[in-house]
Amino acid sequence: MSERTIAAIATPLGEGGISVIRISGDDAITVADKCFKSVSGKKLCELGGYQALFGSVVDRDNSPLDDAVALVFLAPKSYTGENIVEISVHGGLVSTRQILRRVLQCGAVMATGGEFTKRAFLNGKLDLAKAESVIGLITARNDAAVKITQSALSGKISRDIKDILDKLLETASSLSVFADYPDEDIPGLTQENFCKMLNDCRQKCEKLISTYDTGRIIREGISCAIVGKPNVGKSTLMNLLCGSDRSIVTDIAGTTRDVVENVVTVGDITLNLSDTAGLHDTNDVVEKFGVDKAKEKIENAELLLAVFDASGPLDQDDLALLESIKDKKCIVVLNKTDLEAKIDKSQLDGFEIIEISAKLGLGYAALSDKIYGICNLHKLSPNDTVLISERQLDCVRRALDGINEALDSMHLGITLDAVGVCIDDAIAALLELTGGRVTNEVCDEIFKRFCVGK
Ligand code: GDP
Residue 403, pLDDT above cutoff 70: yes
Q: Tell me the average pLDDT across 57-80.
A: 96
State which of 226, 234, 235, 236 you would mutate to test the pocket of ligand 1, scoring each by most atoms of that ligand within 8 A of its C-beta: 236
pLDDT at 14: 82
Q: Are 161 and 433 in contact (CB under 8 A)?
A: yes
Residue 393, pLDDT above cutoff 90: yes
Lowest-confidence segment of 159-168, 205-214, 408-417 by average pLDDT: 408-417
State which of 226, 227, 231, 275 you would mutate to test the pocket of ligand 1, scoring each by most atoms of that ligand within 8 A of its C-beta: 231
Lowest-confidence segment of 97-101, 204-208, 232-236, 247-251 by average pLDDT: 247-251
Strands (E), 3-99: 6-9, 16-24, 36-38, 51-58, 64-73, 84-91
Question: What string of H, E and C letters represents the secondary structure of 150-217?
Answer: HHHHCCHHHHHHHHHHHHHHHHHHHHHHHHHCCCCCCCCCCHHHHHHHHHHHHHHHHHHHHCHHHHHH
* H or E segment and range at residue 273: strand 269-275
Residue 208, pLDDT above cutoff 90: yes
Residue 82, pLDDT above cutoff 70: yes
pLDDT at 299: 84
Cα-to-centroid distance, 113 and ligand 1 (Å): 47
Residue 244, pLDDT above cutoff 70: no
Strands (E), 350-434: 352-355
Between 195 and 247, the more confident residue is: 195
Which pLDDT band, with edges at 50, 70 and 90, does 257 fall under? very low
State which of 359, 362, 367 you would mutate to test the pocket of ligand 1, scoring each by most atoms of that ligand within 8 A of its C-beta: 359
pLDDT tens, residue by residue, 318-374: 999 999 899 999 999 999 999 999 999 999 999 999 999 999 999 999 998 999 888
Ligand 1 atom with the shortest distance to the CA of 230: 2
Show the ligand 1 pocket: residues with CB < 6 angstroms: 228, 230-236, 249-251, 255-256, 278, 335-336, 338-339, 357-359
Ligand 1 atom with the shortest distance to the CA of 335: 23
Q: Tell me the average pLDDT across 228-237.
A: 91
Cα-to-centroid distance, 376 and ligand 1 (Å): 30
Q: Phi and psi for 222 in degrees, rounded to 5?
A: -130, 140
Cα-to-centroid distance, 233 and ligand 1 (Å): 4
Between 15 and 119, the more confident residue is: 119
Ligand 1 atom with the shortest distance to the CA of 249: 8
Q: Tell me the average pLDDT across 235-253.
A: 69
Q: Quick one: which of 323, 221, 317 has its CA closest to 277?
A: 317
pTM for the model:
0.74
Residue 285, pLDDT above cutoff 70: no
Residue partners of 82: CB distance under 8 A and separation at least 6? 1, 2, 24, 25, 26, 28, 75, 76, 119, 123
Averaged pLDDT of the chain: 88
